[in-house]
Amino acid sequence: MRKYNSLRDISIDIREGNINCSQLVEYYLDNIEEKAYLNAFLEVYKDEAKQQAALIDQKIRKGTAGRLAGMVIGIKDVLCYKDHSLQCSSRILDGFKSQFTATAVQRLIDEDVIIIGRINCDEFAMGSSNENSAFGPVRNEIDTERVPGGSSGGSAVAVQADLCLAALGTDTGGSVRQPAAFCGIIGLKPTYSRISRYGLTAYASSFDTIGILTSDIFDNALLLQIMAGKDEYDSTVSGIPVPDYTTHLQYGKKAKIAYIKETLEDPRIDREIQEKTREVLVFLEKEGHTVEAIEYPLLDFVLPTYYILTTAEASSNLSRYDGVKYGYRSPNTIDLESMYKKSRSEGFGEEVQRRILLGTFILSASYYDAYYTKAQKVRRIIRDRTLEILEKYDFIALPTTPTTAFKIGEVKNPLDMYFEDLLTVQASVAGNPAISIPVGTDSKGLPVGFQLMSGYFKETELLGISKYILDNYKKGND
């Protein structure tokens, strides 16, 4: 069976009788088994996926199938799926099974998507390389000695390596966009509150966003359209009507695009990535779009603001994992206090412990105003400045990552690892939608991502301009 990059191609072949859902599932299951060395999946729902495929094949014959019939996806191991294991790639949740299904996941199931398995990630979505999983690192298929990015690295590799057609990830500070860039696929972080967080394991609640990883922009738009919108189980989700993203993918007007000057001059950002970003901007300018450099002096403040606030929220959110009601409980305890301490120190990995400790320090009485309160004020300034730019321009353009995929074990200093989020955290701090699209490779053959941000709830425009670039940039540079 040939590799499919889009649901449209699959739907055509199903309609013409060339394939069916059962054959598709078998194809993906074979690929998962053959490429098990990538360590993308923590659990494969083999029998269940086959049963679901047979059921959907019947629906297709009857003409009652949903919009996602023929789409096989994987879900990141932070999303609840009733009666299925949920571990957040951590030992602290050993043995835990979800008692309900996340709203976003349920909406896909209702449209006849086939979930093929649970995907590896950085523990509790904390990481930029997918090396923090309790179940070992995920490997980039392009070079298995390199990371796929994080924290949704397993989701990105699952799409990259043809283990499923699409995958759900989460983006708190770039955890969909960065792995998409490292793996050469499309990664969308919608506006904060566009998709319900009900059933998403909390890391930093005021940042967490369910994101989408695909090879095709139409598939990304369709998944967003189905998952987005009001939810009675989540009071923080937006009630703004959901447009038909899939019918507005043709970008016919001339855009005004601002690019952050500092990102193309900063010596810490890989020169080849800067050059590739300039090439895309020159292409857009030649196509008649307005492309202007802007200064953004807040760039160096975005990353510390992000880490102060997210570690504080993580400290609070992760306090519920204590070995009492569910998950891992240390067998080496003598009293209640030792049970708490040992269960958490043995169950959580090093990076999660580091962020909990940092967050606890930030929230302590002596430092709350000095760090947390001040960071909230800076967050508002960052948000306001971003919105000011987007009142004048349609999009903000910048590289997705400061480097291409690095080798497993290469980045040892936590601060150097945090630096990998430099270019993605602005959209997360401000709450704006952002997307990473593949625009070629560097001299080592490693993918380079191009990132675009737009105003709140302007995913239609963001997806449209992304499709325009994907369809035309390569032609213009051949």
425 in a structural domain: no
Percent of the chain with pLDDT over 70: 99
Q: Which domain holds residue 174?
A: 7-247
Residue 258 forms beta bridges with which residues? 292, 396
**Is residue 443 included in any domain, yes or no?**
no
Q: Verify whether residue 196 is a known catalytic residue.
A: no
- Give the span between the Cα atoms of 176 and 210, in whole angstroms: 9
Average pLDDT estimate for 461-471? 97
Residue from 151, 152, 155, 238 carrying the catalytic annotation: 151
β-pair type (166-170, 210-214): antiparallel
Domain count within the chain = 1
Question: DSSP assignment of 48-72, as one string?
Answer: HHHHHHHHHHHHHHHT---TTTT-E
Of 46-55, 65-74, 136-145, 469-478, give the lowest mean pLDDT range.
469-478
- Residue 175 annotated as catalytic: yes
- The one catalytic residue among 11, 35, 76, 276: 76
Asked if residue 50 belongs to a domain, the reply is yes
Centre a 10 Å sphere on the Cβ of residue 198 and count the other Cβ atoms it contains.
20
Whole-number Å distance between alpha carbons of 23 and 260? 47
Q: Is residue 370 part of a domain?
A: no
In a domain, 171, yes or no: yes
Q: Is residue 465 part of a domain?
A: no
- Within a domain: residue 100? yes
Can you give the CATH number for the domain in which 95 is found? 3.90.1300.10
Judge contact between 176 and 213, C-beta under 8 A. Answer: yes
For residue range 10-24, list pLDDT tens digits in order. Answer: 999 999 999 999 999
- Whether 475 shows a pLDDT value over 70: the answer reads no
Q: How far apart are CA 284 and CA 357, in angstroms?
A: 45
Q: Give me the chain's average pLDDT, please.
A: 96
What pLDDT does residue 1 have? Answer: 86
393 belongs to a structural domain: no
> Is residue 261 among the annotated active site residues?
no
| Confidence class for position 401, pLDDT limits 50, 70, 90 | very high
Tell me the pLDDT tens digit for each residue of 196-246: 999 999 999 999 999 999 999 999 999 999 999 999 999 999 999 999 999
- Above 60 in pLDDT, residue 476? no
Write down the catalytic residue from 89, 133, 175, 196: 175
